[in-house]
Structure 1
Amino acid sequence: MKKILLSIFVFCFTINAFAQDYKFKTTVDLEATPVISQGRTGTCWSFSASSFLESEIIRLTGKQIDISEMFNVRNTYPKKAWNYVMRQGKAQFSEGGLAHDVINAVKAHGLVPNSAYSGLQTLQTNHNHAEMVAVLKAMLNVYIKNPGKKLSTNWKPAIENVLDVYLGKRPESFQFEGKTYTPQSFLEMTKINPDEYVTITSFTHQPYYESFILNIPDNFSNGSFYNVPLDELVAVTKNALQTGYTVELDCDVSEATFSSKYAVATIPEKAVNSRKDFSAEIRKEKTITADYRQQEFENYTTTDDHLMHITGLATDQNGNTYFRVKNSWGSNTDRVPNDGHVQMSEAFFRLKTISVMVHKDALPKALRLKLGF
């Protein structure tokens, strides 16, 4: 009996001796604005893409500017409404969107700082769009039913008015650092050129080095994606970060192994079925191939559900590389050791990334030639 107990003790000690928690060292840390919260909204697409543009403004001008996420949201909803009505309700109308929706809004309407348009009403301190979206969708469904038997164009200003009530009227001009700007002149000051940004993805059901419209629910605006092999998607992202460009990320965070609690996202070889079973312990990860990635996308295991902002690279104590990802769920240093950031392993990135957005100049020269830039 003593020998059995001793054997069990030795086995447990050995397991614990080899078990290690992640310890990260940041190797690339590009300038970015502080982590903030998207509140009770589904507008991660605007928060992440706005954060991405804020880093671009720092890169281009040296200025750190808190741009308005809600200005981009406000300018996108009418387009969502148009798509929903013209498709007679046979489309998605929700809070979701993609990074190129922010770029489209910026190109059409310019940029404003958060000080000029917060999207919050008097006494509000956090964003909550549940009621607004419910009201908008209910109104649109009435228009789609067409009770007057001939749909008028009155629905458009009605939707605009609702957006003004909930988010506020858009400023035609505003003051910033002692100067008067319009949204377009402010955009010019930031040196952001919306035409300089491209979205890259990797799927086997489309030809490589060509663009296509990715059929995912939030792509209501039918944005195009450039398709590259999976290894090149990883290489594009690393090249951008290593040459001074941050990266916009669209991915799936529904996995139990995406943990804001431990600030890490991995794909362990042995499946973890619930978040309560996940810990900061280093585990061997799966090898992710293009075929496995495609399978998980087609069977709905990988979905388009969250957008974030990659601002750097890190390594663990074993020399493995991770992407340092800025989230928009706020920060809590007592619970989240990296102040609202997550270290994402290459395996997680390879499997769960839907797409990345980068400045064209961040692409390796050989890839730019293949894509025709």
Structure 2
Amino acid sequence: MKKQYLILFCLSCMLMANAQNQPSQKGTFKFYEPGYYQNSILKGIEKFETAQEPLKQAGTFKLDPAGLNIPTDKSAFKSIRHLPPVSQGNTNTCWSYSATSMLESEIFRLTRQEVKLSEMFTVYCEYIERAEQYISTRGKINIGEGSEMNAVIKVMKKYGALPYSSFSGLLPGQEFQSHEKMFNEVRAFLDGLKARNAWDEASAVSTVKSIMHHYMGVPPATVTIQGKEYSPREYLTGILRINPDDYIDVLSYMQQPYWKQVSFDVPDNWWGDDSYYNIPLDDYMKILKKSLKAGITVSIAGDVSEAGFLAREANAAVVPAFDIPSSAIDENARQFRFSNGTTTDDHGLHVVGYLEKDGVTWYLVKDSGAGSRTGGIEKNINFGYYFFHEDYVKLKMMTFLVNKEVMKDLLPKFN
């Protein structure tokens, strides 16, 4: 027995000595390029599955622009001072971009300052407003990214404004705005409050802000101009020097009385604003043209889903004769399309110029959406702009936001 223990002891000593003579080893982190699994197996599976389910693409019925006498270059238009077009990215915030752009032009016209404002500060504040009203109405308001152009005026009156340089709403390294995930989180959170009957406003607003901070960053409490700090409201009144009360929304539809301030009955008017100045269509078109000829731009909203909306084909919007002849476009045709849902207020834009060509007025329209950017800035000389035929505006553009000075002759008719 002792002999066996002695043998085991000797073997152990030999193993230990051998281990001590082995070179030391260590592990390390390795970063591998995609290998056979990714490059061959997964791609092969994807190729097979794609072949089994061919892409089905539905065609979009559009007017053939061949032979149409459409402007081809924005330089032909009499243009009013405005800042270059800015993309709204993957957001439904055209209402903020269009009205903000109009106010930038107004700031230059009135104060000779060229200032790029933050569209996203307005969007941030509008989410707060929406959350507060969602709580106060016990979840009865429409929750969406969309709003109306006069929401920018509403927000400015309460919260003020910020320059783009102080709050872009973009995270470091982010090129385009993208609010899909943020909006889905906000909506899910508010829906959850409604399901639980949990109506604590302070807590709800705090959480909505927290969600926005994650995706947009935190807007500053102050902005420094020439060594002096200003709150957003002080910046609006002391630096920008524009009065939000000077801007009104003009509407033209038959379902409510003309020469009255009325509500615009669309989901994006989620707070039920009833301050729209409803005027006959002929006056509507005259005021639009009068404003531009006076050097005052307008932000405008309406429908951009028609066969004559030739975004990719010509950066233009016209009314095809097969839809309705020009001579038949009147308030009835306009109301008919709004009532049956073929006209909506799905996009807001900024009208920055006009061209009178062959007896027809065309409008130069600055855009924040993707459609006007077809081909990229290198290939599209009209990148970020549309040319709207006056018939398209007359039939499909429902409202515009403008300085009330161009309405001064008509305002006494309202009572």
TM-score interval, smaller chain = 0.7 to 0.9
Structure 1 residue 178: Cα displacement: 4.9
Contact 1:286 1:347 (8 Å CA) reproduced: no
Contact 1:201 1:227 (8 Å CA) reproduced: yes
Paired residue for 1:327? Answer: 367
Could you tell me which amino acid in structure 1 is paired with residue 78 of structure 2? Answer: V
Paired residue for 1:94? Answer: 144
Paired residue for 1:42? Answer: 92
Q: Distance in 1 between matches of 2:122 and 2:266?
A: 21
Contact 2:98 2:348 (8 Å CA) reproduced: yes
Structure 1 residue 179: Cα displacement: 4.2
Contact 1:67 1:114 (8 Å CA) reproduced: yes
Identity, in percent, stands at 33
Paired residue for 1:83? Answer: 133
Contact 1:308 1:328 (8 Å CA) reproduced: yes
Q: Output aligned runs, 1:62-141, within 5 Å.
A: 62-141=112-191
Contact 2:96 2:123 (8 Å CA) reproduced: yes
Structure 1 residue 86: Cα displacement: 3.7
Q: What secondary structure, in the 3-state scheme, does the structure 1 residue paired with 2:88 have?
A: coil
Say whether 1:359 aligns with 2:411.
no
Paired residue for 1:174? Answer: 223
Structure 1 residue 254: Cα displacement: 1.0
Paired residue for 1:184? Answer: 233
How many correspondences in the alignment? 340
Q: What secondary structure, in the 3-state scheme, does the structure 2 residue paired with 1:200 have?
A: strand
Q: Output aligned runs, 1:1-373, within 5 Å.
A: 19-23=67-71, 26-146=76-196, 151-153=199-201, 154-176=203-225, 178-188=227-237, 189-223=239-273, 224-261=275-312, 262-271=314-323, 285=326, 287-316=328-357, 318-329=358-369, 331=373, 332-363=376-407, 365-371=408-414
More helix by share: 2
Query: For residues 151-201 of structure 1, what are the alpha-carbon distances to aligned partners after superposition, in whole Å with 9 as ceiling and x for unaligned?
Result: 333222111221222222221112245543221221121111011111111
Q: Distance in 2 between matches of 1:340 and 1:368?
A: 34
Q: Distance in 1 between matches of 2:226 and 2:82?
A: 20
Distance of aligned partners of 1:291 and 1:66 in 2 relative to their CA distance in 1, 3 Å threshold: same
Could you tell me which amino acid in structure 1 is paired with residue 294 of structure 2? Answer: T
Distance of aligned partners of 1:92 and 1:336 in 2 relative to their CA distance in 1, 3 Å threshold: farther
Contact 2:135 2:200 (8 Å CA) reproduced: no
Q: What secondary structure, in the 3-state scheme, does the structure 1 residue paired with 2:410 have?
A: helix
- In structure 2, the gaps of 5 or more residues are 1-65
Contact 2:299 2:400 (8 Å CA) reproduced: yes
Quick check: 89-98 or 110-119, which moved more?
A: 89-98
Q: What secondary structure, in the 3-state scheme, does the structure 2 residue paired with 1:342 have?
A: strand
Contact 2:77 2:364 (8 Å CA) reproduced: no
Contact 2:141 2:271 (8 Å CA) reproduced: no
Paired residue for 2:28? Answer: none
Q: Is the radius of gyration larger for structure 1 or structure 2?
A: 2
Query: For residues 278-328 of structure 1, what are the alpha-carbon distances to aligned partners after superposition, in whole Å with 9 as ceiling and x for unaligned?
Result: xxxxxx746311011111000000011000000111133x23111111101
Q: What secondary structure, in the 3-state scheme, does the structure 1 residue paired with 2:409 have?
A: helix
Q: Distance in 2 between matches of 1:287 and 1:342?
A: 24
Contact 1:83 1:220 (8 Å CA) reproduced: no
TM-score, structure 2 normalization: 0.77
Could you tell me which amino acid in structure 2 is paired with residue 245 of structure 1? Answer: I
Q: What secondary structure, in the 3-state scheme, does the structure 2 residue paired with 1:366 have?
A: coil
Paired residue for 2:32? Answer: none
Distance of aligned partners of 1:296 and 1:20 in 2 relative to their CA distance in 1, 3 Å threshold: closer
Structure 1 residue 29: Cα displacement: 1.1
Alignment RMSD, CA only?
A: 2.0
